[in-house]
Amino acid sequence: MDGVRVEHMAFGSLSITFDATVLRPRPWTVHQARWAADLMRDAPPGPVLELCAGAGQIGLLAVAGSDRHLVQVDADPVACRYAGVNAERSVHTRRGGVEVRRARVDDALRPGERFALIIADPPWVPTVAVGRYPDDPVHAIDGGADGLEVMRRCLTAIGRHLAPGGSAVVQLGTLQQAVTAGEDAQPLRLLALRSYRPRGVLALLRRCR
Ligand SMILES: C[S@@+](CC[C@H](N)C(=O)[O-])C[C@H]1O[C@@H](n2cnc3c(N)ncnc32)[C@H](O)[C@@H]1O
């Protein structure tokens, strides 16, 4: 946060603080938070997990009307600092509480931890296409050869840590990516897609019976 211009923007009912070294919050992703909030009403008891949280706005908005505990994970220390700042200001801090973990998806969770709802927003731009987004930090958007490398790690974590009866809402770039990710998602099943072309796609996953 030193030597860079700190910015603020509205995200749903929240005011989010960030700078250009993390991904600028994208307004359309309020739909991910709202879908998660809807699913949360019928979810089993338990906390909420956000993987690849960045400045934390999607998870914070999702839990804003609930008293569920929120765990937010990101590998980038600057993103985690902003997530902490934004959590401090969020109404939710006075209810269920927020924990920010600076860690890679593979290392962030303890065996036996279970979450009623999981949100994931990993990088999904194929490495060859990263140059099309010169304003975005590469580490926040580079999803490897097919754009799905971090998503696959998220799916592994979701498969291990989603509570029985729980739901996951994940973000991808295209419908084709969503279908490919769904094919690799065992023990999860892709149940629904919502397209916000050309900005992105949301997918709902649940554990196979
Ligand atoms: C597409 S950005 C999304 C950030 C935020 N959800 C948003 O909408 O602004 C992806 C985030 O994933 C983080 N990230 C990338 N690889 C990761 C990994 N292996 N484990 C944890 N976080 C990772 C990046 O630091 C970045 O903040």
- Per-residue pLDDT at 138 exceeds 80: yes
Cβ of residue 23 lying under 6 Å from some atom of ligand 1: yes
Return the number of other C-beta atoms located less than 10 Å from residue 195's C-beta.
Answer: 13
Cβ of residue 166 lying under 6 Å from some atom of ligand 1: no
Average pLDDT, the chain: 95
pLDDT the model gives residue 68? 95
pLDDT band at 65 (very low <50, low <70, confident <90, very high): confident
For residues 109 and 106, give the distance between their C-alpha atoms in angstroms, rounded to a whole number: 8
Q: Report the share of the chain in percent with pLDDT over 90.
A: 89
Of 166, 165, 177, 183, nearest in space to 202 by CA = 177
CB 42 within 8 A of CB 60: no
pLDDT band at 13 (very low <50, low <70, confident <90, very high): very high
For residues 11 and 155, give the distance between their C-alpha atoms in angstroms, rounded to a whole number: 26
Cα 163 to ligand 1 centroid, rounded to whole Å: 23
Q: Report the share of the chain in percent with pLDDT over 70.
A: 97
Cβ of residue 142 lying under 6 Å from some atom of ligand 1: no
Q: Give CA separation, 118 vs 79, 96, 126, 128, 165, in Å.
A: 19, 16, 24, 29, 12
Cβ of residue 104 lying under 6 Å from some atom of ligand 1: yes
Closest residue (by CA) to atom 12 of ligand 1?
52
For residues 73 and 60, give the distance between their C-alpha atoms in angstroms, rounded to a whole number: 12
Q: Residue 68: helix, strand or coil by DSSP? A: coil
What values do phi and psi take at 131, rounded to 5? -65, -15
DSSP per residue, 6-65: -EEEEETTEEEEE-TTSPPPPGGGHHHHHHHHHHHHTSPSS-EEEES-TTSHHHHHHHTT
For residues 62 and 19, give the distance between their C-alpha atoms in angstroms, rounded to a whole number: 22
Q: Supply the CATH classification number for the domain 7-207.
A: 3.40.50.150
Locate the ligand 1 atom nearest the alpha carbon of residue 23 and give its number.
Answer: 9
pLDDT band at 92 (very low <50, low <70, confident <90, very high): low
Mean pLDDT computed over 94-107 = 92
Locate the ligand 1 atom nearest the alpha carbon of residue 59 and give its number.
Answer: 6
Cβ of residue 143 lying under 6 Å from some atom of ligand 1: no
- Per-residue pLDDT at 4 exceeds 60: yes
CB 143 within 8 A of CB 122: yes
Of 194, 198, 197, nearest in space to 33 by CA = 194
Mean pLDDT computed over 18-46 = 97
Q: Where are the domains of the chain?
A: 7-207
Mean pLDDT computed over 81-99 = 86
Give the global pTM. 0.96
pLDDT the model gives residue 93? 63
- Per-residue pLDDT at 124 exceeds 80: yes
Mean pLDDT computed over 179-197 = 93
Copy the structure tokens of residue 55: 């400045």
pLDDT the model gives residue 95? 74
